[in-house]
Amino acid sequence: MKKIFLFAVLSMALACNQAAEEQTEAVVENLEIYGDTITADGAIAATELVSLMADTNQKALKLEGTIEEVCQKKGCWLKVDMGNGKTMRVTFKDYAFFIPKDAAGRKIILDGVATMEETSIESLRHFAEDAGKSKEEIEAITEPTKELVFEARGVILK
């Protein structure tokens, strides 16, 4: 009976060890998908987007970049590093999903539509409030801006 018990304990220990190894492999992947299921195939560097938009106001594509900032209220928007100290605001199609509020600094793949648009003073102030800016900083926004924005249908966080 002791041998059967010992065999059972050893078998469970080996099974637990194997499960832990499988879990470690999943953590190594470290990918999180939000919104539509997408792949990284064909993604271009976010730093190349400005030159691709030179002759158009709208373009569907995949981008890869680094998150600079995330909405601290819900994770409902983010800013991606575009190089040269510039960022691009990213929102999510139909407000259908959010990303973790602590995702700044992580790599991201975005699949969606880039658009050159004018952002109203009201929207700019709303985004500033979501970002936790001071009342003075929010009130200092007095002009709309023409900017490149992105609406993502799906994202992959690395």
- Residue whose C-alpha is closest to residue 124's, from 75, 72, 89: 89
CA 114 – CA 116 distance, rounded (Å): 7
| Mean pLDDT to the nearest integer, 100-116 | 97
* CB-side neighbour CA atoms (13 Å) of 128: 17
Q: What are phi and psi of 42, to 5 degrees?
A: 80, 5
Task: Identify whether residues 23 and 46 lie together within a single domain.
Answer: no
Q: Is the pTM of this model over 0.95?
A: no
Domain that holds residue 22: 1-30
Residue 26 has pLDDT above 70, yes or no: no
Pick the more confident residue, 54 or 62: 62
Task: Identify whether residues 12 and 83 lie together within a single domain.
Answer: no
Residue 25 has pLDDT above 70, yes or no: no
Task: Identify whether residues 21 and 93 lie together within a single domain.
Answer: no
| Mean pLDDT to the nearest integer, 16-20 | 39
CA 102 – CA 53 distance, rounded (Å): 30
Task: Identify whether residues 65 and 39 lie together within a single domain.
Answer: yes
Task: Identify whether residues 22 and 40 lie together within a single domain.
Answer: no
Q: Using 50, 70 and 90 to split pLDDT, how confident is the model at 137?
A: very high
| Residue 29 confidence (pLDDT) | 67
Residue 27 has pLDDT above 50, yes or no: no
Pick the more confident residue, 134 or 27: 134
Structurally, how many domains does the chain consist of?
Answer: 2
CA 61 – CA 158 distance, rounded (Å): 19
Task: Identify whether residues 35 and 96 lie together within a single domain.
Answer: yes
Task: Identify whether residues 120 and 80 lie together within a single domain.
Answer: yes
Distances (CA, A) of 116 to 21, 135, 147: 47, 28, 6
Q: Using 50, 70 and 90 to split pLDDT, how confident is the model at 130?
A: confident
Task: Identify whether residues 76 and 7 lie together within a single domain.
Answer: no
Distances (CA, A) of 131 to 57, 81, 103, 126, 150: 27, 16, 14, 9, 18
Residue 134 has pLDDT above 80, yes or no: yes
Pick the more confident residue, 78 or 133: 78
Task: Identify whether residues 94 and 141 lie together within a single domain.
Answer: yes
| Residue 77 confidence (pLDDT) | 94
Task: Identify whether residues 51 and 7 lie together within a single domain.
Answer: no
| Mean pLDDT to the nearest integer, 45-68 | 95
- Please state, rounded to an integer, the average pLDDT across all residues of the chain: 84
